[in-house]
Amino acid sequence: MNIKMELFAKVITEAIIFKLNYSDIDLEKEIDSKAVTVLEQIQAVLNKTGVSDFDIVEEIVTIFEDNGLDSGSCHDF
């Protein structure tokens, strides 16, 4: 990344954080709600029968990706 882009990203990040700190959005509630939804999706995958472990891991990685979460590099092939 070039220096101008890094500085621009920092300014944008700070602006967003400032706005969030002074907004009426209940961030804790929003994050908790999203976390519970992701956990319910993962639980549903784990409760499937007749599915190989590989396919279960693949589905969980997909859930992470669909929700913008990093699933790590151990399944990166």
The string of pLDDT tens digits covering residues 15-69 is: 999 998 888 888 788 788 889 999 999 999 999 999 999 999 999 999 999 999 9
Question: Mutual orientation of helices 27-46 and 53-66 as an angle, nearest 10°?
Answer: 160
First vs last C-alpha separation in the chain: 25
Predicted TM-score (pTM) of this structure: 0.63
CB 73 within 8 A of CB 66: no
Q: How far is CA 18 from the centre of its chain?
A: 22
Q: In this predicted structure, what is the pLDDT of residue 59?
A: 94
Please say whether the dihedral angle defined by the alpha carbons of residues 43, 44, 48 and 51, taken in this order, is positive or negative. negative
75 has a pLDDT exceeding 80: no
76 confidence band (pLDDT: 50, 70, 90): low
